[in-house]
Amino acid sequence: MTATRILAIRHGETTWNVDTRIQGQLDIDLNDTGRWQAQRVGHALAQEPIAAVYSSDLKRAFETARAIAESPARLALNSTASALNVTAHTGLRERHFGHLQAQTWTQIETGWPEDAKLWRSRDPHWAPEGGESLIALRARIAQCVDELASQHVGEQIVLVAHGGVMDVLYRLATNQDTQTPRTWHLGNAAINRLLWTPQGLSLVGWGDVSHFDESATGPRDETTA
């Protein structure tokens, strides 16, 4: 079968995740917990055959990707191996939240109640002022994954991105509509496994966090909607 295996990883935790502040395409660093999560997922994937690592160019994703590509555990398993390169791709960026970026959930509910209602209802055509609709996000992610995966048929690649991107990947792999209420988890630094063929994505495994003890009750940013 003509297929590419994909390890899809959400970035590690940031302070804005904890604060329930919309990050969107603003460039936010990992916090200490996020850096630890990135190291743990790098260790967990040390024995995986990986042909390439692709990442959103935003720092929280790129730093997570580097922890995977440069994992000391991977290098220790093969003394002749060198660290993998990380290739940045803007197509893997988080959804652009326009005028709502940098706002907390509470600020959005109070200051922009109509926008909050449309966001929470997952209106596929609504876009924050200056931002992206769910329809546009889905099209961008589908095109990006097709572009990258088609270059690695018969191999396994890593895609490091964001909660909104992970949500789209799950929906594409399970043929779920953009407006379908979410019942799946989008954990920071969770390991998600997909299979790509020219016909589309299929789901292999989702939300593996066995590489660290996750005490969080759920995603704490724009991915909640």
Residues involved in catalysis: 11, 94
CA distance 20 to 16: 6
Crossing angle for the helix pair 134-149 and 163-174, nearest 10 degrees?
80
Q: What is the C-alpha to C-alpha distance for residues 17 and 220, in angstroms, rounded to an integer?
A: 5
H-helix segments, 1-152 = 15-18, 32-44, 59-69, 72-77, 105-111, 113-120, 134-149
- The separation between CA 158 and the C-alpha centre of its own chain, rounded to angstroms, equals 11
Provide the residue count of the chain: 225
Q: Please say whether the dihedral angle defined by the alpha carbons of residues 170, 168, 93 and 213, taken in this order, is positive or negative.
A: negative
Distance between CA atoms of residues 157 and 6, nearest Å: 5
